[in-house]
Amino acid sequence: MPEDADVWQALLRAKGLTVAQLAEDLRTTRQHAHRLLTGKRSADARRDELERALALGPRRTDGRPLYALAELGTDGELELLPAGDTQPLFSDRELAASVVDSLADRNDGLCVVPVWPEYAWRRTVAFHAAWGSTAEPRNVFRVDDAEFDVPVEAVVDELRGGYAETLRLRAVADDPSRLERIETLVEPQTTTDRIRAWIDDEIHDPTGA
């Protein structure tokens, strides 16, 4: 799992905030906010405030954010991790972290991020729209909701399989052979004939094998 400082900084970038703006939210100095972000000062005492200020989604001053699993890419960008066609959210950060730990051998960039439900909903809508389907509110749910009839442990066990499948499918993005073919699109020597050949190849072999 990435270090807290790496996740804090990725959240700051995703929110489009400056250190000065974060310092204002935390009612502290810019220097102190910078130390919290970089891990030079323990953030444990102010974790709740940091999570509220940096939670993905429109800024809010009331309520507590929920938590979601996310991938921190090598480019420093965060992307929520769905489980199949759903976006699970957690009230308990430690429960979310335990799921990350169980999947750590599949992706070392997995982490837990604070998120407002509206952000999770909009990301889910975009995900479904890309596949020509319509998202439903039930696609975004709180895993540890006390109103569920199913034990939390059973829900989490089921979700692990969904998360693992999402990670398996996303791994194609880093497949060297596919990346090499994609890179030919921007090489200076790429010609119209080569592009047409590439398209023909994809049509006759849609699996990219």
pLDDT of residue 72 exceeding 60, the answer is yes
Q: Is the pTM of this model over 0.75?
A: yes
Strand pairing of 140-142 and 87-89? parallel
Tokens describing residue 182 = 């994609």
Residue from 50, 11, 58, 14 nearest 32 by CA: 50
What secondary structure does DSSP assign to the chain, as a single string? ---HHHHHHHHHHHHT--HHHHHHHHTS-HHHHHHHHHTSS--GGGHHHHHHHH-BSS--SSS--EEEEEEE-TTS-EEE--BTTBEEEBS-HHHHHHHHHHHTTT-TTEEEEEE-HHHHHHHHHHHHHHTT----GGGEEETT-TT-SS-HHHHHHHHHHHHHHHHHHHGGGG-HHHHHHHHTTTSTT--HHHHHHHHHHHHH-TT--
pLDDT of 133-192, one tens digit each? 999 999 999 999 878 888 899 999 999 999 999 999 998 888 888 888 888 887 665 556
Length of the chain: 209
pLDDT of 180-195, one tens digit each? 888 888 766 555 666 6
